[in-house]
Chains A and B, each alone.
Chain A
Amino acid sequence: MKRNAAAFGAGALFAVGLALSGMTRPAKVVGFLDLAGDWDASLAFVMMGAIAVHFVAYRVVLRRPAPLFDVRFHLPTRKDIDLRLVLGAALFGVGWGLGGYCPGPGLVSAAAGSLGAIVFVVGLTAGMLIEQAVARALPRRE
């Protein structure tokens, strides 16, 4: 119960941050990505604010032996830079620039009823399912 409430609260808080910061407005996002146009640097401040808080909090939280509702922390351990990482990130950036949505703001705006975001989330879901099917079909060489 507390576990699920905490996850729900974290999601809700995350959405407040996205809305307040302007990430749920594709025009704002594309204004940031448009270096050659009327550049709007605001979103750089979103990143700064988020990292400033999480950089410190991450270190404080990890002093604990375990999180509150689990027996251990589940953090990524991979260190290798592979083609999947670079190609995946490159594609993500292209889609982000085309639509003005990344996954979090897309989901929040779709729930808020924005038509563009609903269409985006349909594509997002299909794209994820396609990648997962391809990954199953092609055994990884790792």
Chain B
Amino acid sequence: MHDFTPIPALIGGAIIGLAASLLLLTHGKVAGISGLYGSLLRQGTSDRAFRLWFIAGLAAMGMLVRLTWPAAFASAWSASLPVTLLAGLIVGFGTQLGNGCTSGHGVCGLSRLSVRSLVATLTFMGTGFATVFVVRHLLGGAR
């Protein structure tokens, strides 16, 4: 484990938990990113404003972090662009079908002790582990 960083991970995680709690306190909503973003794409979603502002906050901070700490986006490993596009398609389709991603099911759902979210989290962790195993160890790191 040459890149093991438990302390920033724990602090960063705590901040994510705090952000989700802030959205719950102010708007009474679950901070599930795929849900917030996906609903913006759908016609007739009520309460678009807060979704738009949340995503805008996410994006604005992304730009600010890039300016002040570009290493946050550094990547020694990177999938090729066609594979990344395919990955995006699958993540988009899957998170809409399964009503959530790492934030909605993983963080918020598990905190609520939701059985649906537990099943979802175990499932996506399982297929995530399996996918990396196949790509890295069976296909020999094919990109």
Contact = CB atoms under 8 A, between A and B. Distances in A.
A116 B21 contact: no
Which secondary structure dominates chain A's binding surface?
helix
Contacts of A57: 17-18, 20-21, 24-25
List the 9 shortest-distance A-B pairs measured between CB atoms, nearest first.
Answer: A88-B98, A123-B88, A127-B92, A21-B12, A49-B13, A11-B57, A99-B87, A97-B131, A53-B17
Contacts, number: 510
Interface of B: 1-6, 8-31, 33-34, 37-38, 41-42, 49-51, 53-63, 65-66, 69, 72-79, 81, 83-103, 105-112, 114-116, 119-121, 123-133, 135-137
Interface of A: 3-28, 30-31, 33-55, 57-58, 61, 64, 66-70, 72-76, 78-81, 84-104, 106-117, 119-132, 135
A97 B88 contact: no
B42 to A, nearest CB: 6
Nearest to A88: B98
A92 B60 contact: no
